[in-house]
Amino acid sequence: MATKWVYLFKEGNADMRNLLGGKGANLAEMTNLGLPVPQGFTITTEACTQYYEDGRKINDEIQGQIMEYIAKIEEINGKKFGDKENPLLVSVRSGARASMPGMMDTILNLGLNEDVVEVLAKKSGNPRWAWDCYRRFIQMFSDVVMEVGKKYFEELIDKMKEEKGVTQDVELDADDLKELANQFKAEYKAKIGEDFPSDPKVQLMEAIKAVFRSWDNPRANVYRRDNDIPYSWGTAVNVQPMAFGNMGETSGTGVAFTRDPATGEKKLMGEFLMNAQGEDVVAGVRTPQKIEQLAEVMPEVFEQFKGVCAKLENHYRDMQDMEFTIEDRKLYMLQTRNGKRTAQAALKIACDLVDEGMRTPQEAVAMIDPRNLDTLLHPQFDAKALKAATPMGKGLGASPGAACGKVVFTAEDAKEWGASGEKVVLVRLETSPEDIEGMKAAQGILTVRGGMTSHAAVVARGMGTCCVSGCGDIKMDEANKKFELAGKTFHEGDFISIDGSTGNIYEGIIPTVDATIAGEFGRIMAWADEFRKLKVRTNADTPADAKKARELGAEGIGLCRTEHMFFEADRIAAFREMICADTVEEREEALEKILPYQQGDFEKLYEALEGCPVTIRFLDPPLHEFVPTEEEDIEKLAKAQNKSVEDIKALIDSLHEFNPMMGHRGCRLAVTYPEIAKMQTKAVIRAAINVQKAHADWTVKPEIMIPLVCDIKELKFVKKVVVETADAEIAAAGANLQYEVGTMIEIPRAALTADEIANEADFFCFGTNDLTQMTFGFSRDDAGKFLDAYYDTKIFENDPFAKLDQTGVGKLMETAIKLGKPVNDKLHIGICGEHGGDPSSVEFCHKIGLDYVSCSPFRVPIARLAAAQAAIAESRQ
Ligand code: PEP
Ligand code: MG
């Protein structure tokens, strides 16, 4: 049977999201629920994939089916494309499986031409409305389909307003708008070299192509990468008869959430504009009214709308984000979806839904995006400093958090300044999807226009970036990069602070403090801990990091990078002496100086971990990072070593490596200088004995981890040094201490020979940073330089250093487990590369049966939640 590429709304349902996209599936579901939905059709995501496979063409079969379905909706709605009596106008909107707000294209009022506009004007008795639709359509079609910039049309509108001596669009009358439509068409012809298309079917096919094409636009590509949405999914296209919100004062349009998307509070939240079309609300061009005010403007419609909201929320058992239009007092639902929300709101809503009996704790845990938790852990303003500060202005608290930084006025500047380490607040009249990368780079976003559902607000919330929107008091001068607020002028580079919860704007710097987490966060985490099988440890090198990680629920240290313990001035001197030693004696002398530092640090780590496991990774420094480069430091070292400056310089030269990350590091250091491993073992064992003595109720059982092993004989060699030293220390202290010696698996050869290595290792820990580097052959420090080209060419969709490559690196991990486990049934296995805190990688680690993941302290809650979600997903299969 031929593939079905097109579905009427009534042919679908909510379970068909993969095929119909989120919007299409929900329009179908709302239709099935008997809600007032203008009846249209959805072109499937598969048709989008096919469009790309066919070289960006809609093939004849798909075009044929689209034509068939136009006829069907013409019949259902009693209107016809281009008809002189009852013309059909449609919206053409994207809709991927996962919602990507504002990332792809939409065209409204399609089907208008010179004849149709006259019919509409006559029939409605409202020529102003008809011409307004037409000029909007020309503008949108030109912009979205033909890529003629919006600004040319906006300039024409501004010119017209100036000529007429008015300030608002709504003050332009029918003749003005007719004149504008003509000017727009002339502009189109000047730019494109052809007449504006008048055949609705031609318009439709072009619009559908444009939506398919928008799947691959740069902002959509960035959004997908950030949100783990595969390129292969494609977008569906929804073609829906227009309901008109701009027919006069008895019409309007709006968006609403069934709960507050910023706090999660259970109350209807939304905005609407009378005599307007959808994009006016979201674009923040006019500041909308609060949804409650609809009760006064149109009480019966408001009551009906509230009923629809309740029905939808009960049906989906989640907070809904809806778009509606009122056409001449009649309500139409244009969209519903599970609303985007802040992390704080997500936790509250999930807990409330459990308390309201709508969701089980398992479902509550499964509905939270672990990546969002990050924002909860971000800094807030220091309460004292905040109390002392007086806001100089106020906008809407659109996305919580605190931001403090230098003012920049363009997304490009935000990106550039951000890349060079500056903290910036992006101040804009309003944001548009092109600004996404700049918004990402900024600490916070402040806009002059727009409500809680404006682009800036929605996108910032999704990203977890602090945002204050709609501060109308700001007098903006984007061209000259300055703005005025509260009688003061702010230039590029001036400091401001903004509070995304209250909407307050402050002059200067307000210090921030770490967030504290409690309440709903604790409840969700407790549930997550009940469901997950994976343990979650942390990568921590300092007692402070370890303490933070414990507070965030870490159950041990999975990686302590001991080389990171030597960056302080007094320590690095001793470390350099050790590196630059000529003889074993000299090296041992330097190591003697290092030992007390190490032992002290380890004691503090064991104390912080309160008897939980601590994995100490033996030295793994690329040596060049530690040798002095400044003349002064070189002289100091020469003096300490009793050597000439020239000698030290020669030694530094001899340490130079072409590929230091593949050079003299890891266990290779312990092989060449066993005395280093000896010193570290002494420090680990002595610290453990001391802490065990002080806390009889804890089990202090050090796990010594040998890095960068590629051959069993290497491990054997280093392990012998460790075991001999450790046993001698334990015997000398008369202690009874257990310890383990394990290895990192971070070289492909180690994974491939894991059956040999498991004979000598008490545990494996996947160092997926190096394992990725060596499996791909990409330098982990330099790959960024070419990865952008890989994203652009779709060779890669993600950075393999951030999201585990399950196909290749994952296969090596699975191989190592399969080979290692049967040889050593006590072998415990974890991961401590950056991937240990990435949700999709955590899920993979669960699937392949790891015992734990280890990640940086602030990612511990993310890993806990992701681990629980992996277990829940598995139990549902
Ligand atoms: C790794 O390689 O994954 C690892 C954790 O070690 P490092 O990043 O210190 O090389
Ligand atoms: Mg490594």
Cα separation, 108 vs 630, in Å, equals: 64
Give all strands of the β-sheet with 106-110 in edge-to-edge order. 6-8, 41-43, 235-241, 90-96, 106-110
pLDDT in the model for residue 541: 86
Give dist(CA 356, CA 7) in Å, integer: 36
Q: Closest ligand 1 atom, CA of 746?
A: 2
Instruction: Using the structure block, give the residue that is written with the tokens 């020979």.
Output: 753
Position 281 scores a pLDDT of: 67
| Nearest Cα residue to atom 8 of ligand 1 | 769
SS3 844: helix
CA 829 – CA 277 distance, rounded (Å): 57
- CA 372 to centroid of ligand 2, rounded, Å: 28
Q: How far is it, in rounded angstroms, from Cα 170 to Cα 361?
A: 50
Beta bridge partners of 236: 95
Residue nearest to atom 6 of ligand 1 (CA): 767
Residue 769 exposed, middle or buried by CB count within 10 Å (0-12, 13-18, 19+): middle
Residue 844 CB: number of other CB atoms within 10 A?
23
Q: Shortest CA distance to 130 belongs to which of 148, 105, 111?
A: 111
The predicted structure's pLDDT at residue 284: 57
Q: Which of 561, 565, 764, 805 to mutate to test the pocket of ligand 1 (most atoms within 8 A of CB)?
A: 561
Q: Which amino acid is at 20?
A: L
* Residue of 48, 467, 765, 832 marked catalytic: 832
Helix-, strand-, coil-residue percentages of the chain, each rounded to 5 = 50, 15, 35
Question: Is the Cβ–Cβ distance between 381 and 499 less than 8 Å?
Answer: yes
Q: Is the dihedral of CA 269, 271, 274, 277 positive or negative?
A: negative
At what angle are helices 60-77 and 45-53 packed, to 10 degrees? Answer: 150
A 10 A CB-CB count for 157 gives 18
Pocket around ligand 1 at a 6 A CB cut-off = 559, 561, 620, 746, 767-770, 832-833
**Structure-block tokens of residue 339:** 């609303």
Ligand 1 atom nearest 767 alpha carbon: 3
- What ligand is nearest to the CA atom of residue 830? 1
In contact, 86 and 73? CB cutoff 8 Å: no
> Which residues on adjacent β-strands are paired with residue 80?
87
Q: Is 116 helix (H, G, I), strand (E, B) or coil?
A: helix
Handedness of CA 408, 414, 420, 421 (dihedral sign): positive
Torsion of CA 755, 759, 762, 763, to 10 degrees: -10
Tally of CB atoms within 10 A around 632: 8
Give the tokens for residue 348.
């509250």
What confidence score (pLDDT) does residue 452 get?
A: 62
* CA separation for the pair 753, 769 (Å, rounded): 19
Residue type, 8: L
Residues 624-644: pLDDT tens digits? 667 787 788 889 888 888 889
Nearest atom in ligand 1 to 773's CA: 2
Q: Does the annotation mark 695 as catalytic?
A: no
Q: Pick the ligand that lies closest to the CA of residue 621.
A: 1
Q: Which ligand is nearest to the CA of 765?
A: 1
Nearest CA among 96, 244, 252, 121 for reference residue 174: 121
The amino acid sitting at 534 is L
613 CA distance to ligand 1 middle (Å): 19
Please report, for residues 127, 325, 396, 564, 856, the alpha-carbon distance to residue 123 in angstroms, rounded to integers and kept in the order given: 9, 20, 41, 76, 65
Buried b (16+ CB within 10 A) or exposed e, 485-523: beeeebebebbbbbbbbbbbbbbeebebeebebeebbeb
Cα-trace Rg, the chain: 32
Q: How far is the CA of 620 from the centre of ligand 2 (A)?
A: 8
Name residue 769's amino acid.
N
Closest CA to 40 of 244, 240, 243, 237: 240
The alpha carbon of residue 116 and the mean position of all alpha carbons in its chain are separated, in whole angstroms, by 44
State the pLDDT at residue 433: 64
Q: Which long-range contacts (CB under 8 A, 24 or more apart) does 788-795 make?
A: 791/221, 791/225, 792/221, 794/231
Which residue in the list 455, 828, 835, 846 is annotated as catalytic? 455
- For ligand 1, pick from 769, 805, 838 the residue to mutate: most ligand atoms within 8 Å of CB: 769
Alpha-carbon gap, residue 119 to 827, rounded angstroms = 79
Q: Which of 770, 776, 841 to mutate to test the pocket of ligand 1 (most atoms within 8 A of CB)?
A: 770
Length of the chain: 877
Residue 58 has φ and ψ, to the nearest 5°, of -90, 115
CA–CA gap between residue 270 and residue 838 (Å, rounded): 34
Q: How far apart are CA 106 and CA 656, in angstroms?
A: 57
User: Residue 504: enclosing H or E segment and its boundaries?
Assistant: strand 504-507
Give 169-195 as a 3 state SS string: HHHCCHHHHHHHHHHHHHHHHHHHCCC
Q: Which atom of ligand 1 is nearest to the CA of 833?
A: 3
Does residue 832 carry a catalytic annotation?
yes
- Which helix H or strand E contains 710, and what residues bound it? none
- CB count within 10 Å of CB 711 equals 15
pTM of the model: 0.83
Per residue in 53-104, pLDDT (tens digit) is 999 999 999 999 999 999 999 999 999 999 999 999 999 999 999 988 777 7
Q: What is the DSSP string of 589-653?
A: HHHHHHHHHHHHHHHHHHHHHTTS-EEEEPP---GGGTS--SHHHHHHHHHHHT--HHHHHHHHH
With a cut of 70, which residues of the chain have pLDDT below it? 281-285, 378, 433-434, 451-455, 458, 461-464, 514-518, 567-569, 624-625
Main-chain phi, psi angles of 67, to 5 degrees: -60, -40
**Distance of alpha carbon 498 from alpha carbon 505, whole angstroms:** 5
Distance CA 404, CA 496 (A): 6
846: CA distance to ligand 2 center in Å?
Answer: 21
Query: How far is the centre of ligand 2, averaged over its atoms, from the C-alpha of 685 (Å)?
Result: 23
Using the mean position of ligand 1's atoms as its centre, give its distance from the Cα of residue 89 in Å: 58
Q: What is the pLDDT of residue 516?
A: 62
Atom number in ligand 1 closest to CA 834: 3
Counting ligands in written order, the one closest to the CA of 619 is 1
DSSP state of 298: -
CA dist., res. 816 & res. 174, Å (int): 74
Ligand with smallest separation from the Cα of 560:
1
Chain-centroid distance, C-alpha 353: 25
Atom 10 (ligand 1) nearest CA: 770
Q: How would you classify the pairing of strands 41-43 and 6-8?
A: antiparallel
pLDDT one-digit tens code per residue, 734-759: 999 999 999 999 999 999 999 999 99
**Cα dist. 654→578, 579, 639, 647 in Å?**
15, 12, 19, 11
In what helix (H) or strand (E) does residue 535 lie, and over which residues does it extend? Answer: strand 535-539
Residue 571: partners with Cβ closer than 8 Å, 6 or more residues away: 565, 594, 597
- Identify whether the C-beta of residue 830 lies closer than 8 Å to the C-beta of residue 867: no
Give 1's Cβ-side CA count (13 Å radius). 3
List beta partners, residue 254.
272, 324
Distance 473 CA to ligand 2 centre (A): 52
Which ligand 1 atom minimizes the distance to the CA of 765? 5
Q: Is 421 exposed, middle or buried (0-12, 13-18, 19+ CB in 10 A)?
A: exposed
Nearest CA to ligand 1 atom 1: 767
Closest ligand 1 atom to Cα of 832: 5
CB 824 within 8 A of CB 763: no
Q: Which residue's C-alpha comes closest to atom 9 of ligand 1?
A: 561
Quote the ligand 1 centre to 769 CA distance (angstroms).
Answer: 5
Show Cβ contacts of residue 312 under 8 Å, excluding neighbours closer than 6 positions.
Answer: 30, 33, 35, 258, 320, 322, 336
Going by their DSSP bridges, the two strands 235-241 and 90-96 should be labelled as antiparallel
Mutate to test the pocket of ligand 1, among 559, 662, 809, 831 (most ligand atoms within 8 A of CB): 559
Q: How confident is the model at residue 580, as a pLDDT?
A: 84
How far apart are the CA of 713 and the centre of ligand 1, in A? 21
Nearest to 677 by CA among 626, 631, 720: 720
* Token pair for 786: 């070419």
